[in-house]
Chain A
Amino acid sequence: MAANLARLLECNIRCNNAAAVQSGWRLFSNQRQQQTEVEDDEEFRVLNLRTIKQQARRREIKKNAVQPPRTSRMPVDQDWTAVWSGPRSFHPASVPLPLRQGYTERGAAAPSKYANAELMKIPNFLHLTPPAIRQQCEAIKKFCTPWPKGLETEAKWKRPFPIEVITTDYCHSLPTIRHPEARRVTITLKLSDLKFDAHAKDKFLRLVGERYNQETGVLTFSADRCPMRKQNYDYAMYLLTACYHESFVTEPWEATKSEADMEVYQFERNQAKRSAEGILNWNATGEQKDAPSANYAKSVEALINEGENEYNIAKYKEEVLKMLKIAI
């Protein structure tokens, strides 16, 4: 009986100590703290062999009921630009259109818009509807300026603005925003827009070489050797300026240009002139000498420069007969 009592007491103390540990009381003091209450009617403890983790109850996952698609709540006269204001991949519950897209067996209807990857893959233009474009254009129109009056046609603007500068911008989805071709600058102008004398024009055309198009009369300076567009533009303008100014320089060695170097036949410096003069001044003793007429010179030049065709030969014959005063 005594042993039983002692065990019961011990058990009681241990329980109290455990309670004290939990609530942060003093454990090792001599004076016992006042017990609030001894629970007599303790619950019957069930022996549980499982670990605490297993004891934990499964959490019940609360599932929201699926909301009905937003399209069912949309009024007919809604502001669509507010619904779909920016670029966004397709969302079936926001688009009130009975879309279908995709491949199926023959005869079956295409898959509907819900859970349809085909519709999500392609970039859509739902944010660029006609009212949206109109709104945005009205907003940015204040930054635009009208084309000046008096320059309506190309013929009109060619006179004050003969130089055309062609540059290119690139916008692409690469890791870099630079494009090696963006630095290229092309300057075109007509040769007739520059003022030359005969020697300068000849020299200029020799200097520019391939950059002059004989058929259209257009000069083209293209530069892409510098890293920046501005530098290339400056370089192309520099080339044009340098060629233009250099063509007016007459070097001493240019006087040694021989007949073989001439690009066109010139009556003045050829044997034909001397022969004609010889014939005209046959046995002439006086100081004054007759010179062949300008028309004769022109016909000879045309005959040799343009080639022998019917018109040139007939013209030459006429001029020769006139010069020699032969009447037929």
Chain B
Amino acid sequence: MLQLLKTLRLRQPARFASALSNTAAATLPGTEATPPAIVGEPDKLYSKLEIELRGIDPAVLKSYTWFATTAAEHLGIELGKCWSPRKAHHERMTLLKSVHIYKKHRVQYEIRTHFRYMNFHKLTGSTLDTFLEYIERNLPEGVALQASKTELQQIPEHLRQPPEQV
């Protein structure tokens, strides 16, 4: 074990040095001749972005929806259906008013959750990341956001043709 550690310690600086020398060798002669080719993965495609908002204050949700749709308009994102259910979701708890007895006297607490939905269509990966980060950063307090993304993909190579050898 100790030996292994020692060898590791010995090796690492050497590796760093080699890496450094490699980069130096690569950069020095080719500063003017070869600009680095931009090789990145192709952009993803999202056919739909569905956003669900939950909050206790419908007015805040409404304002936030207005903000998000306006931002989408400025960014040139196609806007789909935006809607909200008419009634809030009520979660009620009925407890004894007293600590111990008096069963006829109860107290009721409730949590109201309002929902709001927004749909955006036809976004590229970079657009979606930008837009989603922008509206998530401006999410007001007490509002939860759920973004479900539908990504489009090609059929992978191994599923295009029936397998020849099975």
Contact = CB atoms under 8 A, between A and B. Distances in A.
Interface of A: 87, 122-123, 125, 128, 130, 133-134, 136-138, 140-141, 143-148, 151, 154, 157, 160-173, 189, 193-197, 200, 237, 240-241, 244-245, 248-249
Contacts of A141: 74-75
A122 B60 contact: yes
B67 A170 contact: no
A72 B146 CA distance: 42
Nearest to A142: B130
Contacts of B131: 144
Nearest to A184: B148
A123 B141 contact: yes
Given A122-B60, A147-B123, A169 B132 contact: yes
Interface of B: 43, 45, 47, 57, 59-60, 63-64, 67, 70-71, 74-76, 78, 122-124, 126-127, 129-132, 134, 136, 138-156, 158-163, 166
Nearest to B55: A123
Contacts of B151: 164-167
B162 A248 contact: yes
A168 B166 contact: no
A164 B152 contact: yes
Contacts of B76: 144, 146
Contacts of A189: 155
Contacts of A143: 126-127, 129-130
Given A123-B60, A145-B43, A165-B150, A248 B166 contact: yes
Contacts of A167: 148-149, 151
B117 to A, nearest CB: 14
Contacts of B132: 169
Contacts of B146: 168-171
A163 B152 contact: yes
A245 B162 CA distance: 8
A130 B148 contact: no
Given A147-B122, A195-B161, A241-B158, A122 B149 contact: no
Given A122-B60, A240-B159, A130 B149 contact: no
Given A143-B126, A160-B154, A164-B153, A125 B63 contact: yes
Contacts of A137: 71, 74-75, 134
A172 B145 contact: yes
A88 B69 CA distance: 22
A122 B154 contact: no
Contact of A161 (B154, B158, B162): B154
Contacts of B59: 122
